[in-house]
């Protein structure tokens, strides 16, 4: 098969980029695979180009490049196809709308895969007979605002399939949105086996990793570790990750560490890329998020042979960790429960080592070969069925587009009215 992925920016860094590269690299062992990046802002991808995969871009934002598009008049005009509800909307423009449309109209592939809601909407508007259209959701339905959920409910009906990274999110799409004929499958992210041997479980470090954002609730982890260090001062905590441009979260965490007198026990390490070698420097991993779309760091830690103490938040941790077997699940927002679970593993060497072994074994189900096989099976079935198989006929498309024009007009009037009201309040 010829499989084409449409990605926001293959030259940056992030979970969607990493998992797309992993999947594409693995599929490329058997298929003709390309990644088309909407944007290119640097010469080489931060994560390194995936072996065997063709990589190209649609809009060049390298200022020193002969093909620089950043000063195009069309790039200064807001996008009208890429939905406003997608958090990346401000980066898109009439230029990206046109380039993406031209790319999709001319694409020669068996399967084309969108990797975020805005790109899936573009994909759904590609109505000529051609590639099977698969939308990927790397976040959750609940993480999208009302405006984007309305757009999704309307536009995703013209996809052939939608994949989510958790069963819980797939159930949400099936029960809360009416997407007749659209195949909805839960396929988790793939995580490669680390190149180095697993952790031995004897180093007295707890490791946490992820962006420094309030949703990750590192403040709870720091408060929990105050209890851990009081009972076991020989254990320490490393937190890896960078915050946003303001740096507020990092500054607040550092202030909390100082306030609790933990400067010799809790260390803010900044970003690490790749992260796999850093997991191996610890014996326990901790994830204290109030919500997760999947839980990539949980799997990464388990692949390194670490049991994970994680909050039982929606949607991912409970689909990855078997509580009491390969890790611990604790209530969301409870630092006492986090501390107790960490201390249970710290105080019982045998339990910690048994859970580490179980975590390593269980994490094999996220191996890229296994995950790629599930995608390959889905793609092959859809290609065999044909993209018109669930009713993508001319009449259905025409009715859908007419309904879309009416809805788009209603949205425009509603938001124009809202703008008028807002301006009236501030005048």
What's the pLDDT tens digit per position in 75-90? 999 999 999 999 999 9
**Would the pLDDT of 223 be above 70?**
yes
Mean pLDDT of 180-187: 95
Out of 314, 349, 366, pick the residue that ends a domain.
366
CA–CA dist 267, 193 (Å, integer): 26
pLDDT of residue 273: 79
CA–CA dist 54, 4 (Å, integer): 9
Together in a domain, 166 and 257: no
CA–CA dist 77, 73 (Å, integer): 7
**Would the pLDDT of 419 be above 90?**
no
Together in a domain, 92 and 125: yes
CB atoms within 10 A of CB 293: 22
pLDDT band at 245 (very low <50, low <70, confident <90, very high): low
DSSP codes joined into one string, 318-380 = HHH--BTTTEEEE-TT-HHHHHHHHHHHHH-HHHHHHHHHHHHHHGGGG-HHHHHHHHHHHHH
In a domain, 148, yes or no: yes
Together in a domain, 286 and 173: no
Sign of the alpha-carbon dihedral angle for 319, 321, 323, 325 = positive
156: domain CATH number is: 3.40.50.2000
CA–CA dist 73, 51 (Å, integer): 36
What is the tens place of the pLDDT at every residue in 354-373? 999 999 999 999 999 999 99
pLDDT of residue 272: 86
Together in a domain, 18 and 161: yes
CA–CA dist 53, 56 (Å, integer): 10
State the DSSP H helix or E strand holding residue 209, giving kind and residue range, or none if neither. strand 205-209
Together in a domain, 59 and 177: yes
pLDDT band at 246 (very low <50, low <70, confident <90, very high): low
CB atoms within 10 A of CB 348: 12
CA 141 from chain centre, in angstroms, equals 12
In a domain, 405, yes or no: no
E-strand ranges in 214-358 read 236-240, 266-270, 284-287, 308-311, 327-330
Helix (H/G/I), strand (E/B), else coil: 411: helix
How many distinct structural domains can be found in the chain?
Answer: 2
Together in a domain, 271 and 383: no
Residue 234: exposure state from Cβ atoms within 10 A (0-12, 13-18, ≥19): exposed
In a domain, 140, yes or no: yes
CA–CA dist 205, 237 (Å, integer): 6
Together in a domain, 227 and 242: yes
In a domain, 261, yes or no: yes
- Looking only at Cα atoms, what is the longest distance across the chain? 70
Mean pLDDT of 313-335: 95
pLDDT of residue 243: 75
Domain range for 270: 205-366
Contacts 24+ apart (CB under 8 A), 52-60: 52/25, 52/28, 53/21, 53/24, 53/25, 53/28, 55/10, 57/10, 57/11, 58/96, 58/99, 58/100, 58/103, 59/95, 59/96, 59/99
Q: Which single residue is written with the structure tokens 């994970």?
A: 308
Together in a domain, 264 and 246: yes
pLDDT of residue 327: 98
Together in a domain, 355 and 375: no
Going from the C-alpha of 292 to that of each of 185, 193, 315, 363, the distances in angstroms are: 18, 22, 6, 18
In a domain, 409, yes or no: no
In a domain, 426, yes or no: no
Together in a domain, 347 and 225: yes
pLDDT of residue 17: 95
Together in a domain, 172 and 143: yes
Least confident of 20-24, 64-68, 133-137, 387-391: 387-391
In a domain, 196, yes or no: no
pLDDT of residue 74: 97
Helix (H/G/I), strand (E/B), else coil: 77: coil
Mean pLDDT of 38-48: 96
Residues of the chain with pLDDT > 70, as a percent, come to 89
Together in a domain, 176 and 252: no
In a domain, 424, yes or no: no
pLDDT band at 244 (very low <50, low <70, confident <90, very high): low
What is the tens place of the pLDDT at every residue in 279-296? 999 999 999 999 998 999
């Amino acid at each position: 098969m010829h499989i084409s992925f449409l990605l926001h920016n293959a030259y940056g860094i992030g979970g969607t980029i990493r998992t797309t590269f992993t999947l594409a690299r693995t599929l490329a062992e058997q298929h003709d695979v390309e990644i088309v990046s909407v944007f290119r802002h640097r010469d080489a991808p931060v994560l390194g180009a995936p072996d065997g995969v063709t990589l190209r871009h649609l809009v060049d934002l390298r200022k020193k490049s002969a093909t620089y598009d950043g000063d195009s008049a069309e790039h200064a005009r807001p996008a009208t196809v890429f939905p406003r509800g997608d958090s990346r909307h401000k980066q898109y423009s009439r230029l990206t709308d046109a380039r993406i449309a031209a790319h999709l109209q001319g694409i020669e592939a068996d399967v084309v895969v969108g990797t975020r809601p805005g790109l899936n909407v573009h994909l759904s508007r590609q109505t000529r007979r051609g590639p099977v259209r698969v939308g990927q959701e790397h976040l959750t339905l609940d993480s999208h605002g009302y405006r984007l959920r309305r757009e999704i409910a309307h536009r995703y009906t013209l996809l052939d399939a939608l994949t989510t990274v958790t069963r819980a999110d797939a159930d949400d799409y099936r029960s809360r949105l009416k997407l007749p004929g659209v195949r909805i499958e839960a396929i988790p992210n793939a995580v490669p086996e680390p190149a180095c041997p697993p952790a031995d479980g004897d180093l007295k470090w707890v490791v946490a990793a992820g962006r420094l954002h309030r949703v990750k609730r590192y403040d709870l982890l720091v408060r929990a570790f105050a209890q851990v260090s009081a009972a076991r001062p020989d254990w320490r905590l490393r937190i890896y990750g960078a915050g946003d441009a303001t740096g507020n979260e990092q500054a607040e965490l550092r202030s909390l560490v100082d306030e609790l007198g933990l400067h010799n026990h809790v260390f803010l390490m900044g970003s690490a890329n790749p992260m796999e070698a850093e997991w191996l420097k610890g014996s326990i991993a901790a994830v204290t998020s109030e919500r997760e779309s999947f839980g990539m760091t949980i799997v990464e830690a388990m692949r390194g042979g670490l049991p994970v103490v994680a909050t039982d938040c929606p949607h991912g941790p409970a689909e990855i960790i078997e509580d009491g077997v390969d890790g611990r699940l604790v209530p969301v927002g409870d630092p006492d429960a986090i501390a107790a679970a960490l201390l249970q593993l710290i105080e019982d060497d045998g339990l910690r080592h048994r859970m580490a072994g179980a975590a390593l074994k269980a994490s094999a189900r996220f191996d890229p070969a296994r995950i790629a096989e599930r995608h390959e099976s889905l793609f092959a079935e859809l290609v065999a069925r044909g993209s018109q198989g669930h009713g993508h006929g001319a009449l259905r498309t025409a009715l859908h587009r007419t309904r879309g024009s009416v809805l788009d007009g209603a949205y425009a009037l509603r938001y124009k009215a809202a703008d008028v009201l807002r301006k009236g309040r501030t005048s």
